[in-house]
Amino acid sequence: MHAISKAPAPNLPITDHAGLRRALNDANLPTLLMVYTTFVQDRAYLDSFAPYLTALYTAEMPSTVPEPMAVDLRNRLFALLTSPTPPREPPLDPEFLRHMMSVSVGEDVDAGLVPVLYDQMGFERAVPRKDIPGRKMPPADFDVLVIGGGMSGIAAGIKLAEAGYSFTIIEKNAELGGTWWENRYPGVGVDTPSHFYSYSFELNPEWSHYHPKGQEIQDYLTGVADRNGIRSHVVFETRVTGAVWDEKTAKWHVSLRHRDGTTSERAVSAVLLAHGVLNRWSMPGIPGLESFAGPKMHTAGWDTSVDLKGKRVAVIGTGASAAQLAPAIADQVSHLTVFQRSKHWVLNNPDINTGVNDNVRFALRAIPHYKEWFRFRVYWFTGDGLYGNVKMEPDWPKQDVSISPQNDAVRNYALHYIHTKLADRPDLIEKLVPDYPIYGKRIVLDADGGWLDTLRRPNVTLETRTIDHIEPDAVVLRDGTRVEADVLALATGFDIAKVVGDLDIVGRGGCRIQDDWGADDPRSYLGVMAPGYPNFFFVLGPNSAPNHAAGVNMVIEAQINWMIETLDLMVAKGTRQVEPTIPAYQAWNTRVEEQMKQMIWSHPRAKSYYLNSAGRNIISCPFRLADYWKMTRHPDQSELRFG
């Protein structure tokens, strides 16, 4: 563990005294305490706040600290940050750092988590790999092809550049951003808090909301890409259709199809598949769907030119996308019918629609380390702090409705919200409340003015009867009821079982990954590679999605770190190919399956898109984010085969 900084803190002294005063008054008090303690390291003063800091969280949660103490802290920080002699930061002892974290969140932070938390808070940006003394640089002819220019592809490009690798990103769209460029349906956003849903090496103090909407995420990603010179490495409007491994040359021959229909081929040393899991639409197999005469759109392919005003709109699906779409359009349409196939738990999150005010943005921008310590709080309360919700306790007596005390408490919190919101609509309560433990499927986050309020509107119907077929102007139910519609919105999710999509991947000895995995049974080593496919890497491969919490950005960074370290090992050894050994691959899958038995997704009532046709969870990582970060920090050479 290194000191946070040994030089005078940047941006000091702060000369906008009025702005600083306003920021200190509005900023999160536990975060301000961490900033002050970073500089002063007064343990007694820190501990005096401990009785008032609890393990509860919302972004703008009212402070429980007595006002005289709060005023004293703000005054101390004001004096520190405006001093003509900027303070220097003494080195932070790891144990003291752990103690600071524990006081901040009102519960004990395990010492083993400190390295991952320190890394993910973004306190330090690592030295670019190409500047590490003694590191062997990649050969000039060693080039990497990255498939996809979304969050994963952009991060991969930045880290490959920092490591000195030649690389090209192949992007099927006309712009970077991936799912955030494609998804433009009304209300589109992310249920991960903005101050965590970002790269640890590119923290953004300017988020307008605590949960950002789609365009703001897109702007963030393209801004990061442009600041890091990624665009010049991208081939736009081009699709990868397949890749064949050439054993003699140790190259992948990658087939490309361009916008004008022409094709070409590239020979590359390594392939990094970063096309994302929310990319291939899942279209409902409803008879007559193609006969519908009006506009019909998957949420991921929304036509923004379609005017919904005064229209009868049918939304098929009640997951996260539908719960964002419906509130955004309900006041425009004449009638909205939402068709529900399966029930989802609805959890109140008051931050969903809350804006970040100018004073808090001043704190994030100008107060040294405020944004890093605030990110820590967000990670803790929306990341691994939620792991107890998905880890089953074998002796828990309420196994039919919950799996642990923490899971049961969240279930009761959700039930209270649903029953309070819908007190006068018992019909909706009956339709909405699931019979499986909360977190068994992806939850729907809600807030005032959102999903449940929308379902209460007089021009909105939640329809739970089974759809039989679709006609040119209606959705027809199995009992013969016709629900007339002018527009059809398909909030039916994505086909995530096919990790490589429609790509034809041919590995060593002619093996095909589609044959190895079948229709829906993908397996890997660490979620990043598979034996038989040298130098071919997956981002967010099988069983690496953090389905217990926020943190997909953290997994992406961890996997890319592992991939580049693995390439570095190959370069250092002077070899041309690397892949996992069969025993390592088998051991990893056994480990995943054993851990999965203890997870909520193995509960008999938890049926979700995480499971394949055989009932095996092929998506979720059954370990904590911090555990997976450690697993992928450095490759284990004994589990890799070099050649």
pLDDT confidence band for 608 (50 / 70 / 90): confident
Q: Which of 6-20, 35-49, 65-79, 444-458 has the lowest mean pLDDT?
A: 6-20
Q: Which of 134-143, 521-530, 547-556, 586-595 has the lowest mean pLDDT?
A: 547-556
Q: Which two tokens stand for residue 626?
A: 């911090």
pLDDT of 8 strictly over 70: no
SS3 529: strand
pLDDT of residue 575: 97
Average pLDDT across the chain, whole number: 93
pLDDT of residue 9: 60
Give the mean pLDDT of 249-269.
97
Nearest to 540 by CA among 562, 512, 517: 562
pLDDT confidence band for 437 (50 / 70 / 90): very high
Nearest to 70 by CA among 20, 13, 27, 17: 27
Q: What is the CATH T-level fold of the domain 141-280+496-642, as seen in this structure? A: FAD/NAD(P)-binding domain (3.50.50)
Pick one of 3.90.1150.10, 3.40.50.80, 3.90.180.10, 3.50.50.60 as the CATH number of 289-352+394-490. Answer: 3.50.50.60
Does the pTM of the predicted model rise above 0.85? yes
Give the mean pLDDT of 415-434.
97
Contacts of 195 (CB under 8 A, 6+ apart): 203, 204, 207, 210, 364, 371, 374, 375, 378
Query: For the chain, which residues make up each domain, given as ranges?
Result: 17-127+357-385, 141-280+496-642, 289-352+394-490
User: What percentage of the chain carries pLDDT values higher than 70?
Assistant: 98
Rounded alpha-carbon distances, angstroms, from residue 589 to 259, 484, 500, 610, 622: 39, 48, 19, 16, 11
pLDDT of residue 353: 87
Q: Which two tokens stand for residue 599?
A: 């997870």
pLDDT of residue 124: 76
pLDDT of 118 strictly over 50: yes
pLDDT confidence band for 361 (50 / 70 / 90): very high
| Cβ-contact 15, 134 below 8 angstroms | no
Nearest to 142 by CA among 529, 640, 577, 507: 577
pLDDT of residue 443: 92
Q: How far apart are CA 452 and CA 455, in angstroms?
A: 5
pLDDT of residue 305: 96
User: What percentage of the chain carries pLDDT values higher than 90?
Assistant: 82
pLDDT of 22 strictly over 90: yes
pLDDT of residue 278: 64
The amino acid sitting at 119 is D
61-105 residue pLDDT tens:
778 899 999 999 999 999 999 999 988 888 889 999 999 999 999
453-468 residue pLDDT tens:
999 999 999 999 999 9
Beta bridge partners of 640: 580
What is the b/e burial string over 243-278, where b = at least 16 CB atoms within 10 angstroms of the residue's CB? Answer: bbbeeeebbbebbbbeeeeeeeebebbbbbbbbbbb
Same CATH fold, 289-352+394-490 and 141-280+496-642?
Answer: yes
pLDDT of 449 strictly over 90: no
pLDDT confidence band for 10 (50 / 70 / 90): low
Contacts of 587 (CB under 8 A, 6+ apart): 639
Maximum distance among all Cα pairs of the chain, rounded to whole angstroms:
79
pLDDT of 280 strictly over 80: no
CA within 13 Å, CB half, 536 = 27
Rounded to the nearest angstrom, the gap between the alpha carbon of residue 1 and the centroid of all alpha carbons in its chain is 27
pLDDT of residue 510: 96
